[in-house]
Chain A
Amino acid sequence: MQPISHTTTRSRSIRYRLAVSLAACGLTASAAVITLSTSPAVASTSTVNVGFTLPLSAATGGLAVAALKGAQLVINQTNAAGGINGHKINLVGQDNSCNTVDGVTSAEKLLSLNPKPIALLGAFCSVSTEAIEPIVKRAQVPLLVDTAGNDDITTSAGVGGNNWVFRWGASNALSIDAIFSYVKAHTSIHKIAIITDNTAFGLDGGNDVVAAAKAAGITILSNDALNLSDTNFNSVLARVKAEKPDAVFDWVVWLPGAVNFYREYGQDGLVNTPLIGGLEIDSSTDAIFKQYQIHGFYDGMFTSGLKTPGAVSFEKAWLASGGNAADEGTAYDGYESAQVLVAALKKAKTLTPAGVQSALKALSYGPSILGGTIKFDAHNQAHDNLTIVTYKGTSASFVGTTKS
């Protein structure tokens, strides 16, 4: 049998494979280094674990990384001040990819920490939160939900539902109702154009806006759900402008593309039309709002203009830690979540999941960063303040706070 000689560039191939294997070793080594350097020591028996599940990978926008850091700030402050009755808190974050399958796996991973976490924070994305709810119920560990806005989270929590799920942030419906109360009481707006986005947040919120508008007797001229990775919103905005609405209702999620939306809103000469709703004005959009003098009002959970004592110390701590001003809105989510949790931990009779659950149920924490009180109702939903802010450009006046 004749051997067929290969015209392989064998030596080059071997060199290539060697290079690749070296890269692999380098990668493993750096993974090990990062793991060892970033995972805090859990050796001490007086440490309690708190898990945070949130979308950390880039494909989900990567914005929630700031939330994890915001929470870490509070935990660091608490630990530096002696912890909770001498117990230090160890905060562990896990990526949930903003979906259900990874959401479940991330929660399971957190729940398998040793010692078992006394509470979980999360999950930023409504679908991940919903997938995790049955798990925390089975594991009997409280889940403190922050900004996942879907209304079903409230209706299925608390009385008659899942007693282990608590939400301190306003649901979509609560926020939207608050705006329409203001609209009815203080404005003569009769026709609106609705602009949302095609994520769960935007579409669910959009439904709430439609319902609330109808209830308030306000005409809806159009309802658009933008794809925020588009470049071009000019066409949609041109049509909205031609409709001549009294106001444009904005319920657009805070993804990178939203900045472009606001810029085009200003550029397209819609400035005379108030932009109302659930805006988020922070340093990445400050310049745009100032330049075009976009005006209107909104209710928000956080804005860079907010000057309550809590907001001031938060901003200071965030910037001092090297955080980006542009990420403040997201960082606030994690920061306030941790504040609420730490307040409950301090009140807990025992630092166990059940103890934390009771403490949350009985909690009356204030003032929050928004100047309200966090107290959970029968459906484990808190009614923090929502700031109603009228703004023009970057100057904002707080008309007042409304209970959500």
Chain B
Amino acid sequence: MIFGFPPSFWLGLVVNGLATGGAYALFAAGLTIIFGVVGILNFAQGEFFMVGGFVAFFISQNLGWGYWVSLVLTTAVMAAVGAGSYYGMFRRLQRSPRAVEVGLVTTLGLSILLQNGFTILFGAIPRSPNNSLLNDNVVVGGVDTGVLMLIALGISIVALGGLHLFLKRSRLGLAIRGVPQNRELAAIIGVSSAKVTTTALAVGMGLTGLAAAAIIPFYGVFPTMGTGFVFTGFAIVVIAGFGSIGGAIVIALLLGVVMSVAGGGFSASAQDAAPLVLMTAALLVRPNGLVKRAVRAQ
């Protein structure tokens, strides 16, 4: 017995945490790509996530096309939204002499707009698309983990694996990795800023949409669902260090586990405080993020 619980219990918590971390990993990867390439901290990322959730709900429930189709289509739709947001908003922000601050206020305004707009349109009560797998649990050591959560983890692994290949093998992928590391050099070499940024936004938003579609059966979709996610996603990116996509994924899974262990082993408040405590610790220990990667301070 460890701290009053059998080892299998702790194992169950770990499994549960990994499953939660999976969805966060998709979200965090998207956030990292967008911030790394666009250079603007997107306060409205949670709201794009929420929009993705509504899109997924519409596709799976209203159109009746189900979970798997909604995963693919939501990703596509949100990728298009991402690309569009470049021309609609981010390009303008990038050109501003004080991109980070202007971006902050603009995305903050967008976040308020979307949250309130969707509340007025759809109401605040969460809806959940029907899903036959919703009730199925995997029980490890007395800890239940929803099958759907594990599926979300699987989706994350597959999607992030694909992301990894894209980033390592394709030219555009390399450009996306390169831009955050040295913005001036990238410009000099002639990496087409518009193309890279649009792609990065498409990929980033696509991942966010995928995360939303994967989790709405067990999380529900409602206008303020982004706030919880964006906070944890942000914590992950801070701990991992901006610009490190692989790091974001690892930290996401780790954070999921830590939160689960904290909540299961100790108290809900501990679970709630875990991301903050870890963020603070990481910032104290390694100011530029835990993952060693030379990212030029912006």
Tell me if chains A and B make direct contact, with any CB pair below 8 A: yes
CB–CB A58/B116 < 8 A: yes
Instruction: List residues of chain A with CB under 8 Å of any chain B CB.
Output: 16, 57-59, 61-63, 65-66, 195, 198, 222-227, 229-239, 241-242, 256-257, 259-260, 263-264, 267-269, 284, 291, 324, 326-327
CB–CB A227/B272 < 8 A: yes
CB–CB B5/A242 < 8 A: yes
Instruction: Select which of A63, A242, A256 is within 8 A of B225 by beta carbon.
Output: A256
B224 within 8 A of A: yes
- Known A236-B271, A256-B224; contact A231-B23, beta-carbon cutoff 8 A: yes
B259 within 8 A of A: yes
CB–CB A58/B224 < 8 A: yes
Q: Bound state CA distance, A264 and B220, in angstroms?
A: 12
- Known A229-B227, A231-B219, A232-B263; contact A238-B143, beta-carbon cutoff 8 A: yes
- Residues of the B chain whose Cβ atoms lie less than 8 Å from the Cβ of A257: 126, 228
- Residues of the A chain whose Cβ atoms lie less than 8 Å from the Cβ of B267: 222-225, 236
Interface residues on B, range: 35 or more
Instruction: List residues of chain B with CB under 8 Å of any chain A CB.
Output: 5, 9, 12-13, 16-17, 20, 23, 92, 112, 115-116, 118-120, 123-126, 128, 135, 137, 139, 142-146, 215, 218-220, 222-225, 227-229, 231, 256, 259-265, 267-269, 271-272
- Residues of the A chain whose Cβ atoms lie less than 8 Å from the Cβ of B262: 235
- Residues of the A chain whose Cβ atoms lie less than 8 Å from the Cβ of B231: 229
Work out how many contacts link A and B, with CB atoms closer than 8 A.
Answer: 153
CB–CB B260/A232 < 8 A: yes
CB–CB B20/A238 < 8 A: no
Q: Bound state CA distance, A229 and B271, in angstroms?
A: 12
- Known A59-B224, A65-B119; contact A238-B12, beta-carbon cutoff 8 A: yes
Q: Which chain B residue lies CB-closest to A242?
A: B142
- Residues of the A chain whose Cβ atoms lie less than 8 Å from the Cβ of B123: 62, 65-66, 324, 326-327
- Known A58-B124, A259-B126, A268-B144; contact A239-B265, beta-carbon cutoff 8 A: yes
Q: Which chain A residue lies CB-closest to B152?
A: A231
- Residues of the B chain whose Cβ atoms lie less than 8 Å from the Cβ of A263: 218
- Residues of the A chain whose Cβ atoms lie less than 8 Å from the Cβ of B92: 16
Expressed in whole angstroms, the minimum distance between the Cβ of B3 and any Cβ of chain A is 11
Instruction: Select which of A230, A268, A284 is within 8 A of B137 by beta carbon.
Output: A268
Expressed in whole angstroms, the minimum distance between the Cβ of B172 and any Cβ of chain A is 25
- Known A238-B264, A259-B220; contact A225-B137, beta-carbon cutoff 8 A: no
CB–CB B272/A267 < 8 A: no
- Residues of the B chain whose Cβ atoms lie less than 8 Å from the Cβ of A230: 228, 259, 271-272
Instruction: Select which of B118, B120, B137, B215 is within 8 A of A231 by beta carbon.
Output: B215
Instruction: Select which of B116, B125, B215 is within 8 A of A256 by beta carbon.
Output: B125
